[in-house]
């Protein structure tokens, strides 16, 4: 049944080159964890939608019970590979233990490489350090030997490797000591994955340049993430949060340091408009995110704008859709973005956008946004007044955004993935 479905989905001839996609290629996908509402988790969902036969192997837990996955895959087999998690908690490198465990690490990944030689494709998601990165050079280097007739060994071709790069937050933009350490470690071994891969996937040309700075990838394919419409009615959020007659600035995303939300709080104080509120919608559950949220709350109290702040935490799709539809302005103050999926949603739902020029943001929105200096609250406050007091400008940005969002279609995304895997298996 899967064979017929995939053949119909891919729409290719039954015999192409030496490989045949209609025979359902065996795909193993590695990731750090699986969160259904973060960009990497949503991307993993989409890959499973295109390749339903793919198996997922996670370094840590699975936050989406609807998708089966092998959780804590390496740590259960080789507990010493969980060393980096201890380093994360302590906020410092344990170099002596790293040196001591290194021979065991090489042996562990050599053994795992032999197991994964039965797959056609090994696909590594990369944006935060996880041990599967060390599997890639082991797959590339090892000769996968299988016994064919007792003593005679048959040399097998190793699986094709896809390195799916999501970007890494620069360590100097991270205040948490543990997270900064992991970001440094992630960047240090990015070259290892990029150089071993047969194919690298990126979301933006900014991300491509960043990856080329870290390594020497053989081939890079540019595949932006698509807009996925939410079917829902607009919920009465203004009544729920007492926002009648208020102008709403909206931010959607994680509450982390590099998102630079403090600059918006500073601008709120400067514009001195009590009818403007700032709604922050996104994950604040993890320890470092909760700490950043508390820092922002303290700052808002210090600047006496705490009554204009709303922190919703993670919300349902229906509520997220409603925030996009009722907001007067979507604000993205981030200092680093490899793509920024919420910008695509904001454009598609008709929210005018005010954003920084950092990372891939200008590339993602094109001319469908007004830009401000990421580190200048005065510039942001001036742009806020300009856009909130000008209905015609907001309408123009909304129209340009809807037009730009058409470039991020599901069909385009799906076809790029299918063609990339087809070409990879046929080369």
Q: Could you tell me the fold of the domain covering 2-226+409-426?
A: Rossmann fold (3.40.50)
- Is the separation of the CB atoms in 365 and 401 below 8 Å? yes
Per residue in 223-244, pLDDT tens?
Answer: 999 999 999 999 999 999 999 9
The Cα–Cα gap between 370 and 379 comes to 12
19/424 Cα distance (integer angstroms): 9
- Mean per-residue pLDDT for 11-18? 34
CB count within 10 Å of CB 236 equals: 10
* pLDDT at 415 (0 to 100): 96
Nearest to 251, CA basis, from 239, 235, 234, 268: 268
How many other C-beta atoms can be found within 10 angstroms of the C-beta atom of residue 71?
Answer: 16
**Conformation bin of residue 11: beta by default, left when phi > 0, alpha when psi is -120 to 50:** left
Summarised one tens digit per residue, pLDDT across range 176-190 is 777 788 888 888 889
Structural tokens at position 279:
């709604």
Instruction: Identify whether the C-beta of residue 413 lies closer than 8 Å to the C-beta of residue 223.
Output: yes
List pLDDT tens digits, range 106-119.
Answer: 888 888 888 898 89
At residue 394, does pLDDT exceed 60? yes
pLDDT digits 0-9 by tens, 120-136: 999 999 988 888 898 99
Do 47 and 420 contact (CB within 8 A), yes or no?
A: no
Pairing state between β 152-156 and 370-371:
unpaired
Angle at 106 between CA 212 and CA 63, to 5 degrees: 70
The CA-atom distances, in angstroms, between 394 and each of 274, 280, 311, 333 are 20, 20, 24, 18
**Average confidence (pLDDT) over 383-399:** 95
- In the numeric block, which tokens belong to residue 13? 């001839």
DSSP letter, residue 225 = P
Model confidence at 157, pLDDT cuts 50, 70, 90, reads: low
User: Thinking of the domain 237-405, which architecture would CATH place it in?
Assistant: 3-Layer(aba) Sandwich (3.40)
Task: Report whether pLDDT(310) > 60.
Answer: yes
Strand-pairing partners, residue 155, are 145
Which uninterrupted H or E stretch holds 122? strand 121-126
As a whole number, mean pLDDT of residues 200-222 equals 94
- Helix residue spans in 63-164 (DSSP H): 73-77, 83-90, 95-115, 135-141
Residue 38 clears pLDDT 90, i.e. is over it: no
Tokens of 114: 């032999």
Output the CA angle 245-247-250, nearest 5 degrees. Answer: 135
The tokens for 77 are 């087999």
Q: Report the C-alpha gap between 72 and 61 in whole angstroms.
A: 6
| Residue 221 pLDDT level (bands cut at 50, 70, 90) | very high
Q: What is the sign, positive or negative, of the torsion defined by CA atoms of 361, 227, 407, 392?
A: negative
With a cut of 90, say whether residue 352 has pLDDT above it.
yes
Domain with CATH 3.40.50.2000 in the chain: 2-226+409-426, 237-405
Q: What is the pLDDT of residues 259-280, one digit of tens each?
A: 999 999 999 999 988 899 999 9
pLDDT band at 381 (very low <50, low <70, confident <90, very high): very high
How much is the pLDDT for 1?
Answer: 39
Q: Which helix (H) or strand (E) holds 189?
A: helix 177-196
pLDDT at 402: 97
pLDDT score, position 194: 93
Q: Is the pLDDT of residue 12 over 50?
A: no
Task: Tell me which of 9-18, 32-41, 156-165, 371-380 is least confident.
Answer: 9-18
pLDDT of residue 340: 94
Name the 3-class secondary structure at 343: helix
pLDDT, the chain, mean: 86
Percentage of the residues of the chain whose pLDDT score is greater than 90:
58
Helix axes 95-115, 83-90, angle to 10 degrees: 140
CA–CA distance from 222 to each of 104, 277, 413, 417 (Å)? 36, 37, 10, 10
Length of the chain: 427
pLDDT attached to residue 156: 54
pLDDT confidence bin for 142, thresholds 50/70/90: low
Confidence grade of residue 150 (pLDDT, cut at 50, 70, 90)? very low
The pLDDT of residue 395: 96
3-state helix, strand, coil in the chain (%, to 5): 50, 15, 35
Looking at the predicted structure, is the pLDDT value of residue 306 above 70? yes
Please tell me the pTM assigned to this model: 0.88
Handedness of CA 68, 71, 76, 77 (dihedral sign): positive
Three-state secondary structure call for residue 387: helix
**Rounded-to-10 torsion of CA 163, 253, 344, 210:** -40
pLDDT at 4 over 60: no
With beta carbons less than 8 A apart as the criterion, state whether 52 and 139 touch: no
* 3-class state of residue 355 by DSSP: strand
pLDDT confidence tier of residue 355, bands split at 50, 70 and 90: very high
Predicted pLDDT at 14: 32
């Amino acid at each position: 049944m899967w064979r017929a479905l995939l053949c119909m989905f891919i729409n290719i001839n039954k015999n192409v080159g030496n490989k045949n996609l209609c025979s359902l290629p065996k795909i193993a996908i590695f990731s750090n964890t699986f969160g259904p509402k973060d960009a990497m988790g949503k991307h993993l969902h989409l890959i499973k939608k295109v390749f339903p036969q793919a198996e997922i192997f996670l370094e840590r837990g699975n936050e989406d019970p609807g998708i089966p996955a092998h959780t804590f895959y390496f740590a259960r087999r080789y507990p010493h590979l969980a060393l980096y998690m201890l380093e994360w908690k302590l906020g410092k490198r344990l170099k002596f233990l790293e040196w001591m465990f290194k021979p065991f690490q090489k042996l562990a990944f050599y053994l795992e490489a032999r197991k994964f030689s039965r797959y056609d494709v090994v696909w590594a998601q990369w944006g935060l350090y996880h041990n599967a990165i060390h599997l890639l050079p082991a797959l590339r280097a090892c000769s996968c030997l299988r016994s064919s007739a007792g003593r005679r060994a048959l040399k097998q071709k190793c699986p094709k490797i896809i390195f799916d790069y999501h970007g890494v937050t620069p360590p100097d933009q991270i205040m948490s000591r543990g997270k900064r350490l992991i970001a440094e470690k992630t960047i240090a071994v990015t070259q290892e994955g990029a150089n071993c891969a047969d194919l690298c996937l990126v979301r933006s040309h900014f991300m491509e340049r960043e990856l080329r700075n870290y390594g020497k990838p053989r081939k890079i394919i540019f595949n932006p993430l698509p807009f996925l419409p939410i079917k829902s009615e607009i919920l009465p959020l203004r009544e729920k949060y007492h926002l009648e007659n208020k102008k709403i600035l909206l931010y959607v995303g994680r509450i982390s340091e590099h998102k630079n939300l403090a600059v918006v709080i500073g601008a709120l104080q400067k514009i001195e408009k009590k009818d403007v509120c700032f709604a922050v919608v996104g994950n604040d559950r993890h320890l470092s995110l909760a700490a950043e949220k508390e820092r922002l709350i303290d700052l808002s109290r210090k600047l006496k704008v705490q009554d204009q702040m709303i922190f919703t935490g993670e919300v349902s799709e229906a509520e997220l859709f409603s925030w996009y539809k009722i907001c007067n302005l979507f604000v993205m103050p981030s200092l680093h973005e490899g793509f920024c999926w919420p910008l695509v949603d904001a454009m598609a739902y008709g929210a005018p956008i005010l954003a920084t020029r950092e990372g891939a943001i200008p590339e993602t929105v094109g001319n469908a946004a007004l830009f401000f200096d990421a580190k200048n609250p005065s510039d942001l406050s001036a742009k806020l007044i300009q856009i909130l007091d000008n209905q015609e400008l907001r309408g123009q940005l909304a129209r340009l955004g809807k037009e730009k969002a058409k470039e991020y279609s599901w069909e385009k995304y799906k076809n790029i993935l299918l063609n990339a895997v087809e070409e990879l298996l046929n080369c």
